[in-house]
Structure 1
């Protein structure tokens, strides 16, 4: 039974984070290479803006903000699942190689298969999921030991090594490709929000609509998995089935996000930690907070990145790495 005081605390943080995210989105709408003054935002929303103002807001800024929020939310939830299932506070889909597996699959498809513009954006999440799932299975098998189970440090080391190897494979694959394709893959690897248009949102949204309620429904099971294998089995948790279902959800969330937003690291690491500091370790409370924190973090990173060194800006993935790397080092040294 969760104390009512904690529930009230969570609701207050949810409201606060929703307000913070809305405020950040408003700031993000007004900032950019093509400026849009803040006093014109409401008239433009109401259809009273000029053609340029409506084009900037509805065709450039809003879809980018929405896809960034959705990707950040998916990565944060994926990281929370991985940390819970592996009992490893350093787990992140980017750090342990899941994002890199998705990247290799997307690279192979983009370089060697015919691209249909109408189907490409809907196929990319599925292709990224296949690559991420293959990488996750191989990494998990390499880190697992019969008798001792999954060692947290072994998972991070093997995952980090696999990520480096898979990123190296991507470099090899694009070394002889056409310049246009090399440019796309390079931007994807840097974490550039490339799918910043309404059709990409429609391609990503179904993954979250299905997976987010599924994971939230299993929040209590995730609490039990964090106790350890023997404890979870003793309580009566079907360990293999629950672990497999949650891992599949984590891989699918990460793959669908990076398919549209590029390879982004550390959002899935930081958001669950921040959420647990705010409302405690119970996943029933921390998962919704983690989702909002992840969306807000990536939106902040993208807003800063695209307003630095204009007009090209800095990729959101690069900004997220600059923010998250010191925190990762802090956790590594602390443990």
Structure 2
């Protein structure tokens, strides 16, 4: 591994960690009630008022943690998908995984009654099942017997399935109650709705399992990103490794969007920016991509809560930034 790039990665990790901490302080102060920095420090030292403690520890910190964890999950999922498809345009939102999770969550919310205490823990699992079902469907339509899987075919199939699922979601919510339709509409817009500690506890285990697994598989991702011929020559079981990594990407993305809403482009932008900074080796860029994804989504949510009295969903803020970036990448691919 290049020592210069390793040193660069360490400096960037330090810088991004400090930037994330500064953004967390800004996010704590964002909202209808402003809490000055000195009161924030006093509250963390257990000397703050009851109101400040309630606002910081019960309202804002859970939202901040959810946002950062989801940003990390989405960015890591995007990095895996880009390597498996060998295409920088791959993103869990663009190829249908988010739509599959959304359909499953919509069916759960509209038709299956759950105890309030169970809802926060069940919804990431339901989102993951929806995402996995969609991934299986995409893989089935993309697969050709006795031929290697074509990355472009996989992406185009994902876009088609995503469009079909979005239409199906419109059909199933068309006759639902107004309050439930409002919730689904906010979910589709990428509104961070899981803002309590139980949602943090529900999402965290998915990252605890699949983040280390992805880092363990980093070298194999390096090889799979090159070509199937090289992978076969080095004795890698392509289908087995691809399915395991695809499952990891789906689990990370679906569990993340289950509590944040339908957010796209984080999985597209964060890995690509990280690669531009330290190169294509997964051992180097994956940690950076996770921090960049966490920072991007936290910034988007903080801006959405700070601009005007009405909260703008983080998904809309991310889309305003991500859509031009996607067009830029698309033009580069065409060139």
Distance of 2:306 and 2:147 partners within structure 1? 49
2:222 maps to: 223
Which residue does the alignment assign to 2:52? 53
Q: What are the equivalent positions in structure 2 for 1:184-333 lying under 5 Å apart?
A: 184-310=183-309, 312-333=310-331
> Any stretches of 5+ residues in structure 2 without a counterpart?
none
| SS class of match (2:226) | coil
1:19 is paired with a residue whose SS is helix
Q: CA deviation at 1:161?
A: 2.1
TM-score, normalised to structure 1, is 0.97
Matches within 5 A, 1:98-113: 98-113=97-112
Output one character per residue of 1:97-129: Cα deviation in whole Å (capped at 9) or x when no partner.
Answer: 000000001111111111111211111111111
- The residue number in structure 1 matching 2:165 is 166
Tell me the CA shift for residue 147 of structure 1.
Answer: 5.2
8 A Cα contact 1:30 1:37, kept in partner: yes
Asked if the contact 1:36/1:56 (under 8 Å) is kept, the reply is no
- Asked if 1 retains the 8 angstrom alpha-carbon contact of 2:77 and 2:253, the reply is yes
- Which whole-Å CA distance do the structure 1 matches of 2:148 and 2:237 have between them? 16
- Mapped to 1, the partners of 2:159 and 2:306 lie a distance apart of 31
Unaligned runs of at least 5 residues, structure 1: none
Mean Cα deviation higher: 147-156 or 231-240: 147-156
In 2: Cα distance, 1:18 partner to 1:90 partner: 26
Alignment of 1:33-182 (within 5 A): 33-146=32-145, 148-182=147-181
Do the aligned partners of 2:265 and 2:323 also contact (CA within 8 Å) in 1?
yes
Q: Tell me, yes or no, if the aligned pair for 2:85 and 2:152 is still in contact at 8 Å.
A: no
2:2 alignment partner in structure 1: 3
Calculate the aligned-residue CA RMSD, in Å. 1.2
Residue 212 of structure 1: how far off its partner (Å): 0.4
Runs of 4+ off more than 4 Å: none
- Cα distance in 2 for partners of 1:147, 1:333 equals 33
Equivalent pairs, count: 333
* Residues in 2 aligned to 1:95 and 1:126: alpha-carbon distance in whole angstroms: 21
Q: TM-score, normalized by length of structure 2?
A: 0.97
